[in-house]
Amino acid sequence: MALERTFSIIKPDATRRNLTGKIVAKFEEAGLRVVASKRIQMTLAQAQVFYGVHSERPFFGELCDFMISEPVVVQVLEGESAIAKNREVMGATNPADAAAGTIRADFAESVGENSVHGSDAPETAAEEIAFFFSGLELVG
């Protein structure tokens, strides 16, 4: 198994409720290491590009408005099979379907306001990391 990096966002519903530390603890307990992290407020243009794959979906406008509503914490997580492991720790998109103990089961408020984003494949992980972090922020 190879050491991988993946991209994570702690979404506005979670930063608003001061859950950043509890969410990071779940990553760390799963063997994921935070190798880059910053708190930002996304612009509408950034949110629209970031979620561009969903631009035709009915929830797109609401999703972008939510993602820019308050600050988020963007992070790079590293570990063995980090992409799959992060998705496992996150739980299903809809918290009603999320396995017990996952971030979304414990913290998400709804299918839209579901506390975390995580990359779904190596290509998207690389793209999403590069979208939010410069090479200089990724040393070590």
- Residue list 81-100, contact with ligand UDP (CB under 6 A): 93
Q: Got the DSSP string for 40-62?
A: E---HHHHHHHTGGGTTSTTHHH
Burial tier of 18 (Cβ tally within 10 Å: 0-12, 13-18, 19+): exposed
Active site residue 54: no
Residue from 84, 111, 126, 138 binding ligand UDP (CB under 6 A): 111
Ramachandran sector of residue 31 (left: φ over 0; alpha: ψ -120 to 50; beta: rest): left
Q: Which stretch binds ligand UDP (CB under 6 A): 24-32, 40-48, 107-115, 121-129?
A: 107-115
Residue from 19, 23, 47, 63 binding ligand UDP (CB under 6 A): 63
Residue from 6, 117, 129, 133 binding ligand UDP (CB under 6 A): 117
In angstroms, rounded to a whole number, what is the distance separating the alpha carbons of residues 14 and 70? 10
- Which is nearer to ligand UDP, 45 or 61 (by Cβ)? 61
The one-letter amino acid code at 51 reads: Y
Q: Which residues contact 128 (CB under 8 A, 6 or more apart)?
A: 7, 50, 119
How many chain residues bind ligand UDP (CB under 6 A)?
A: 9
Catalytic residue among 66, 104, 117, 119: 117
Residues contributing to the site for ligand UDP (CB under 6 A) = 54, 59, 63, 93, 111-112, 114, 117, 120
Instruction: State the catalytic residues.
Output: 117
